[in-house]
Amino acid sequence: MTHAAQGGRDEHDTTCTADEHDTSCTAADTSHMAIGSALHHTMPFFPLARTVWALLLLLSNVMHSAHAITPSSLGEFVKLRGKGNTTVTMPSVGAGSMGGCSPDGPFPGGVPCKQYNATLMYLKNGGRSLHDALSYCNQYGTGQAVKDSKVPRSQVFMMSMVPYHLLGYNNTKLAVAASLDQLQVSYIDLVMVHHRACDISGWPRNVCQMKAFPDVPSSPDGKSSVWPAPACSVTDPTWQTCQDETWRALVELRNDGKIRAIGVSNWQIRNLQRMVDLGLELPATNQVEAHIGYVEDDLLSFCKEHGIVVQAATPLGRSMPDLVKPGADPLVTSIAQKYKKSPAQVSLRFLLDKGISPIPSASTMAYQQENLNLHDFSLTVDEVAGLSRLTPTCRGEWFMGLQKCWADPSTLMCMFKNGSRFHCP
């Protein structure tokens, strides 16, 4: 595996950015900008020629960014919208959060936590892209493992999420500061808004206690904190303003160099369309649940059209072990046998071939190596279509007694076990 293939910067990508953290421009980006600049300077005195050139450059920019950011099948890397006209290179397969830790340090009770061990193993296996979130309470484990691995920071793509209870301008800045502290880094490559304000409605949740937020009340047994429902939940008519303020804070943090790319998670077309209508900067990514049997094709098309990379949470279906268990599904099994791959690898390749970037979570050596070994085969159009037709039904969520029905996107995250539903506006 080459340096670049491991997640490092491209060899030629050192000169095209105004942002010192943005090390990801490619040779194509550089030459494209350089040619534009040279012609611009040689044509100062010919207004018509300059107008024609400006139109050509605009067209070329549109075609260039559409091609660079939204390919139909993903190779080893994918380009994300960065600051200004820059792009940020992300490995197309990342690792999901891999286990628990302490929110106050990587070695609770003197013992390395699971997230630390699994992350260290993943980096030794050649993985270079780590998804994590402040609400997972394990970012110290991730950050310490990156440090101890001795892999240069610039070669690791690190992600984080702003949690649901910290939406709003000031809270978002606090959340990112806490993640920077826990990950022990000076910048984060990609930060996403974890949920739409409307998703989480009025749910307070018992989660880990964090020194960064001493004012959050403890649960009655004193073992955890009760993170309050966000001020801007769906019950609050100003939730969209609050969400916009979250985004404004992220744009600022990105412009200040604390973050290289910014995205959202669990957003639907109507939420993204609103950003388009308001002329807001669009997110680089939208992380949503996606796996065999559950891909929201309309959302995927919309995102591709607008240069938003769809990232797959739960790319192995998490609670559907049958799909990735050898022999469980006949179609997955036959495709796996054809390519001499495991069912999990077929499941992840399916996403890559749909143009979706998966972040599987794997805590064992064997699973991690399988999940990193996806770029030496690809599926046929018919195979992708066949796998798209597999439709699992419902699964129970592990919190709040929710059921998620994959067959109907309108019920996503929104049906209680007793059958009552709420819909996100």
Ligand X SMILES: NC(=O)c1ccc[n+]([C@@H]2O[C@H](COP(=O)([O-])OP(=O)(O)OC[C@H]3O[C@@H](n4cnc5c(N)ncnc54)[C@H](OP(=O)(O)O)[C@@H]3O)[C@@H](O)[C@H]2O)c1
Q: In 3D, which of 396, 382, 377, 370 has the Cα closest to residue 315? A: 370
Report the residue from 303, 313, 379, 415 that binds ligand X according to the rule CB under 6 A: 313
Report the residue from 263, 371, 379, 414 that binds ligand X according to the rule CB under 6 A: 371
- Look up residue 185 and give its two tokens: 């880094």
68 versus 166: smaller Cβ distance to ligand X: 166
Question: Contacts with ligand X in 242-301 (CB under 6 A)?
Answer: 265-266, 287
260 versus 341: smaller Cβ distance to ligand X: 341
317 versus 392: smaller Cβ distance to ligand X: 317
17 versus 119: smaller Cβ distance to ligand X: 119
- Asked if 318 touches ligand X (CB under 6 A), the answer is yes
The DSSP annotation for 71-90 comes to -SS--SEEEEE-STT-EEEE
Number of chain residues interacting with ligand X (CB under 6 A)? 25
Amino acid at site 68: A
- Asked if 135 touches ligand X (CB under 6 A), the answer is no
The DSSP annotation for 116-185 comes to HHHHHHHHHTT--EE---GGGT-HHHHHHHHHHHT--GGGSEEEEEE-GGG-SHHHHHHHHHHHHHHHT-
Max CA separation in the chain (angstroms): 76
- Output the residue with the shortest Cβ distance to ligand X: 96
Name the one range near ligand X by CB under 6 A: 64-72, 78-86, 232-240, 362-370: 362-370
Angstrom distance (rounded) from CA 381 to CA 96: 27
List the end-to-end C-alpha distance of the chain, in Å, as a whole number: 46
Residues 186-205, mask of contacts with ligand X (x by CB under 6 A) = --------x-----------
- Asked if 183 touches ligand X (CB under 6 A), the answer is no
Q: Which residues pair with 80 in a beta bridge?
A: 88
Report the residue from 169, 367, 377, 422 that binds ligand X according to the rule CB under 6 A: 367
Angstrom distance (rounded) from CA 198 to CA 131: 23
- Asked if 96 touches ligand X (CB under 6 A), the answer is yes
CB 116, min distance to ligand X, A: 15
What is the DSSP secondary structure assignment for residue 97, as one 8-state letter? Answer: -
The DSSP annotation for 208-263 comes to ---TT-TTSPBPTTSSSEEEPPPTTSTTSTTHHHHHHHHHHHHHHHHHTTSEEEEE
Report the residue from 31, 37, 186, 364 that binds ligand X according to the rule CB under 6 A: 364
102 versus 342: smaller Cβ distance to ligand X: 342
Name the one range near ligand X by CB under 6 A: 75-83, 106-114, 310-318, 402-410: 310-318
The DSSP annotation for 387-401 comes to HHT----EEE-SSTT
**Containing H/E element for 40?**
helix 27-42
- Asked if 230 touches ligand X (CB under 6 A), the answer is no
Regarding beta strands 259-265 and 285-289, do their DSSP bridges make them parallel or antiparallel, or are they unpaired? parallel
Helices 269-278 and 239-255 cross at an angle (nearest 10°) of 70
Name the one range near ligand X by CB under 6 A: 48-56, 149-157, 317-325, 376-384: 317-325
- Asked if 324 touches ligand X (CB under 6 A), the answer is yes
Q: Which residues pair with 311 in a beta bridge?
A: 287, 357
- Asked if 317 touches ligand X (CB under 6 A), the answer is yes
Report the residue from 142, 314, 357, 403 that binds ligand X according to the rule CB under 6 A: 314
Report the residue from 263, 315, 355, 392 that binds ligand X according to the rule CB under 6 A: 315
Angstrom distance (rounded) from CA 413 to CA 4: 38
CB 265, min distance to ligand X, A: 4
Q: How many residues does the chain have?
A: 425
CB 139, min distance to ligand X, A: 12
Name the one range near ligand X by CB under 6 A: 105-113, 229-237, 268-276, 354-362: 354-362
Strand, coil or helix: 68: helix
CB 58, min distance to ligand X, A: 35
- Asked if 363 touches ligand X (CB under 6 A), the answer is yes
Angstrom distance (rounded) from CA 376 to CA 214: 49
CB 304, min distance to ligand X, A: 19
- Asked if 97 touches ligand X (CB under 6 A), the answer is yes
CB 231, min distance to ligand X, A: 20
In the complex, the residues that contact ligand X under the rule CB under 6 A are 96-97, 131, 194, 265-266, 287, 313-318, 324, 342, 344, 359-364, 367, 370-371
